[in-house]
Amino acid sequence: MQLAKPLSTLGVLLFVSPALAQSPTVVGFDGGSDGGFIGNAVFEATGGNPDGNAHHAALIFFNELRTGGIGEPVNPNLIGDYSGFGSVTFEVDIKVDSLTDFIGNDIARPFGLKLIDRDITGPNGSSGVYVDLAVLSSFNQPNWTRVSVTIDDPTSAALPPGWIGFGDDDPTTFEPILPAGATFASVLASVDEVHLTGATPGFFFNDANFDMRIDNVTFIVTDPSLGTETCSGVANSTGAGADLSLSGSNVASANNLTVQVNSLPSNSLGYVIHSLGNAVVANPGGSEGNLCLAGASIGRFNSQVLDSGAAGAVSFSPDLTSLPAVGGPVSAVAGETRYFQLWYRDNVGGVATSNFSSADGITFQ
């Protein structure tokens, strides 16, 4: 396997897919558009990452950017029933030029994601779930920084680690909780509003001087996964490991398999590799990551190079009747297990390198 072959010498296949379940929704605020959002930000045509952005520049209690409120703008791609998806990922680029108290001292504030189901009403009103995405400060995000969260199972009744519910208060601790009978899954089955906000449930803040920008609000969903993960991706320049998932059909003759990879660096080039064997080879050829495939059966889709674009995600549907192999194309057949992984370019500390996504194996029928 020749990992050192420059991707620049190969043709580039841009990631394009019409289906929401396979395609990121990216709100870039280009041209100063609101993208279906409203809040205490001004939508500007310049200054983003790149071009347009939502600019919070005011003395306010907390930053707020939301979609789906009653009588307010809505981005329909972010609203609705999440329960049919295999996973849900939110990503957003943030940059803090200044964040100070009323006398000019640098301070830090929370920044998180809030999902609301107005049909679930508790003593404190509409209910939902919240997770912190970052701690905002001019020290933490002086340059554009991507923050993200992935919901691995939207049908989980239990709150994932780091998430809290709101709409009611715990009678003993007085901390926010979901109302009786409500669960993480019930909220995600009917998301009416999405907020990117500093209004952490259960906390109160004095006003502060915000000068921060938000761009590339990205919503990525996958179909329910097939196969089994055999190894994880090593953290890349985004701070997360690239995550590969499989969807479609495990029937070989159906020729309907999609490889989805999220949490990639922006505008990273890479291609899918596959094999009949799996192992863990650390840092092959000087790579930052681990090769999780093994054997002479390793094949490379190196004529179909993928570009992660601004969203940091790719999707690829291999032709199962013509899988690249050393001795020539082969077909997937019932009874065999094949393993898939993405090899991709990255830049760490100004040094060009490569990395690998997680790997999944699927047994075909």
Q: What pLDDT digit, counting tens, does each position of 41-54 carry?
A: 999 999 999 999 99
User: What's the whole-number average pLDDT of the chain?
Assistant: 91
pLDDT at site 226: 81
Closest CA to 272 of 249, 306, 234, 237: 306
Check whether 7 has a pLDDT greater than 80.
Answer: no
Q: What is the dihedral of CA 356, 358, 359, 362, to 10 degrees?
A: -150
Check whether 1 has a pLDDT greater than 80.
Answer: no
Residue 13: band (very low, low, confident or very high) from pLDDT cuts 50, 70, 90:
very low
pTM for the full model? 0.64
DSSP notation for 170-228: -TTT--EEPPTT--HHHHHTTB-EEEEES--TT-----EEEEEEEEEEEEEEEPSPBSE
Instruction: Please give the average per-residue pLDDT across 219-242, as a whole number.
Output: 89
CATH 2.60.120.260 domain residues, the chain: 33-219
Percentage of the residues of the chain whose pLDDT score is greater than 70: 93
pLDDT at site 198: 97
Q: Which residue has the higher pLDDT, 251 or 124?
A: 124
Say if CB 331 and CB 252 are below 8 A apart: yes
Instruction: Please give the average per-residue pLDDT across 10-23, as a whole number.
Output: 33
Q: Which residue has the higher pLDDT, 217 or 24?
A: 217
Check whether 296 has a pLDDT greater than 70.
Answer: yes
Instruction: Return phi, psi of residue 296, to 5°.
Output: -70, -5
Name the DSSP letter for residue 160: P
Q: What pLDDT digit, counting tens, does each position of 81-117 carry?
A: 999 888 899 999 999 999 999 999 999 999 999 999 9
pLDDT at site 17: 30
3-class SS at 272?
strand
Name the DSSP letter for residue 13: E
Domain covering 33-219: architecture = Sandwich (2.60)
Check whether 19 has a pLDDT greater than 50.
Answer: no
Q: What pLDDT digit, counting tens, does each position of 176-219 carry?
A: 999 999 999 999 999 999 999 999 999 999 999 999 999 999 99
Q: How far apart are CA 182 and CA 167, in angstroms?
A: 10
